[in-house]
Amino acid sequence: MRECEERELAKTIIKQVQDSTQELEQEVEEVIKLGRFTEGGQETSESENEIAGGSRGNFDKEREAGR
């Protein structure tokens, strides 16, 4: 009986994590789309790289250089 309850609880927790992950992915996609709208051009791809774990320093250097 206890094992069944624990299994159900585990399934519920896994489902909640999956739902949260999906919501986060949708929010990241929305941020990227908004970045394209507001920044445009080359800076957008650098911003996308930053969100995906790229380096912020390179983005700043190109931004200062007016690219």
Q: Which two tokens stand for residue 55?
A: 């380096």
Percentage of the chain beyond pLDDT 70 is 55
Q: What is the mean pLDDT of the chain?
A: 76
The CA R_g of the chain, rounded to the nearest whole Å, is: 20
pLDDT for res 10 = 97
Confidence of residue 39 (pLDDT cuts 50, 70, 90): low
For residue 55, pLDDT over 90 is answered with no
Per DSSP, the three-state class of 52 is coil
Longest CA–CA separation in the chain, Å:
66
Q: Is the pTM of this model over 0.85?
A: no
Range of the domain at 43: 2-64
Give the pLDDT mean for 37-51: 58
**Amino acid code (one letter) for 7:** R
**Amino acid code (one letter) for 57:** G
- Which residue is listed with tokens 């908004």? 34
How many domains, the chain? 1
